[in-house]
Structure 1
């Protein structure tokens, strides 16, 4: 569920080529510009949190800040983390997270209707900025996005290691049995022992050049069509974890079910898949007025990686906990804020 939510939340086609994404994006942007982006309500955050390792001296005291997010669990949690950090630093915060669709949340920050959100580098580069080829190096990808979006009135702060992209995963028993840790290992296994490798993937992943076809070509992975099964994303996780019809399954790297189902993610050792690193996207005017935002968020972003995201996402999507409370408990546990 979380993986599919992430896919939907990142706009029309998670890795849609420009030819496919541009018309829908243009229409959505036009709707935002002419009719608003839907940020018509919100609720003040009133948690009474105090500085911990961030926010000392209340550098945001007197600031009125609005945070937003997309509508899938991971991005909502990140929005709550951001809002709570601003509160601890002294700001009054309006919570307008959980906005349907990528474009609405981004346009709200660009227009100043909201001040900040966590966005993904690959989403911005491909879906918003109109490129059809990702940049393999994550630091260069972030820098290219930051430079381009500076002209759009948006400032990207330092990125997280958190990278919500495609991967293959296997259950722990099969990982031990076959000794696979990387996609190169899977490719070698497919050539050495073809019967050992069955893949369960979603239909879109199976058809895309930046999905199964491109991955197989980049790694020399020899998996015949008869050993590739197409199914809904939610079923993939259960099939892989239970030792069903899939040895390896397509997953999203920060999905909470990876930890909950004790799956092992294969390292993309040739860096084939695009980078979708999360980073704070701030309205540039807001940042000029409140430059302390950078110092408040940078240490938190630096702590966010795939393992942290999986744990937080699992608490929401597997355990059914409230994203705000999940974010708050994590910030307290890490010492970033205090009660």
Structure 2
């Protein structure tokens, strides 16, 4: 995914050099990329000068979420180290467990399945959040808090034109099309989605799809969206439900009518010792989580991925528009 403030490949190379040099994980950090001032978030004496390292994964939505945390805590008076743009879920998780990252937004489905090793999701956003919150605290001393309404679950999408031509609106209807007319249901799937049990293999099992009939192409996630919209290379594709390219390309999400896909609500994740030492962090960030709906985060993602605005600017300007911070 895109880097922020045009650091992309350069940052990745520098991060690799740092990892090799330290031989013990993520050590480098940056200050926040843009200056902000207090708005409704006011300086908090208990956070004044406290060093807090903020992390995120390396795709647009995660960068935006990580930068929202960073700007908020900076406005509250903390000394923020920016370690957003870490490659992959497992790398971010390892950095948090080892104490190299203090706080990040992560997804409840990722916590339940990837980190805790469960195979079956818990139905319902609140129930899934509570399950991962309780299990991860007991097993690993990690605190999940302030779940946002946004749910970046997996989905299968199609173009408006293909939806009209095929009449497919649900995953059950998609499965029937695959089984009866495979060429009409040619599908592009992202690399990770193609192998994850909460991805395409699970969809095949849950919806009774004949795997031998699937006409599937495994491609980079970024290619899926345009390819599905063009309907030449593929007529259906795997997507993340809050990606800004979905409305921009007029894609339609198929209804998961058998409720297969896990809930992927974003929530704050911290080590237990950090949360106990700095409880005012949640006072700052909980009201922000409530504002992170599917509609709001999809629009922020769209500005970055479609309009080409840097994630740091997207995050800062949204926070200023909400009155949370001011721009000097």
Q: CA deviation at 1:325?
A: 1.1
2:106 and 2:216 mapped to 1: Cα distance?
32
Matches within 5 A, 1:231-246: 231-233=218-220, 234-246=222-234
Q: Normalization by structure 1: what TM-score?
A: 0.77
1:116 and 2:86 aligned: no
Counterpart of 1:170 (choices 158, 162, 177) is 158
1:45 and 1:203 mapped to 2: Cα distance?
31
Provide the residue aligned with 1:95 in structure 2: 82
Q: Please give the secondary structure, in 1, of the residue aligned with 2:216.
A: strand
1:203 and 1:84 mapped to 2: Cα distance?
32
Q: CA deviation at 1:326?
A: 1.0
Pairs aligned (count): 307
1:69 and 2:52 aligned: no
- Unpaired runs of 5+ residues, structure 1, are 3-30
1:109 and 1:191 mapped to 2: Cα distance?
44
Provide the residue aligned with 1:134 in structure 2: 121
Contact kept in structure 2, 1:201 and 1:236, CA below 8 Å: yes
1:69 and 1:214 mapped to 2: Cα distance?
27
Q: CA deviation at 1:327?
A: 0.5
Contact kept in structure 1, 2:243 and 2:298, CA below 8 Å: yes
Contact kept in structure 2, 1:186 and 1:221, CA below 8 Å: no
What are the superposed Cα offsets for residues 158-207 of structure 1, whole Å, 9 maximum, x if unpaired?
A: 22233333211111233344454432443466678877543333466456
Q: Normalization by structure 2: what TM-score?
A: 0.79
What are the superposed Cα offsets for residues 31-80 of structure 1, whole Å, 9 maximum, x if unpaired?
A: 99x9432122322566232122xx24636541522211222222111110
1:107 and 1:202 mapped to 2: Cα distance?
24
What are the superposed Cα offsets for residues 16-39 of structure 1, whole Å, 9 maximum, x if unpaired?
A: xxxxxxxxxxxxxxx99x943212
1:270 and 1:68 mapped to 2: Cα distance?
34
Matches within 5 A, 1:136-155: 136-151=123-138, 152-155=140-143
Q: Please give the secondary structure, in 2, of the residue aligned with 1:326.
A: helix
1:199 and 1:66 mapped to 2: Cα distance?
40
2:195 and 2:62 mapped to 1: Cα distance?
27
Counterpart of 2:297 (choices 297, 309, 322) is 309
Provide the residue aligned with 1:86 in structure 2: 73
Q: CA deviation at 1:241?
A: 0.7
Q: Please give the secondary structure, in 2, of the residue aligned with 1:272.
A: coil
Provide the residue aligned with 2:199 in structure 1: 211
2:191 and 2:30 mapped to 1: Cα distance?
37
2:88 and 2:290 mapped to 1: Cα distance?
26
Counterpart of 2:44 (choices 58, 61, 71) is 58
1:112 and 1:245 mapped to 2: Cα distance?
44
2:170 and 2:259 mapped to 1: Cα distance?
11
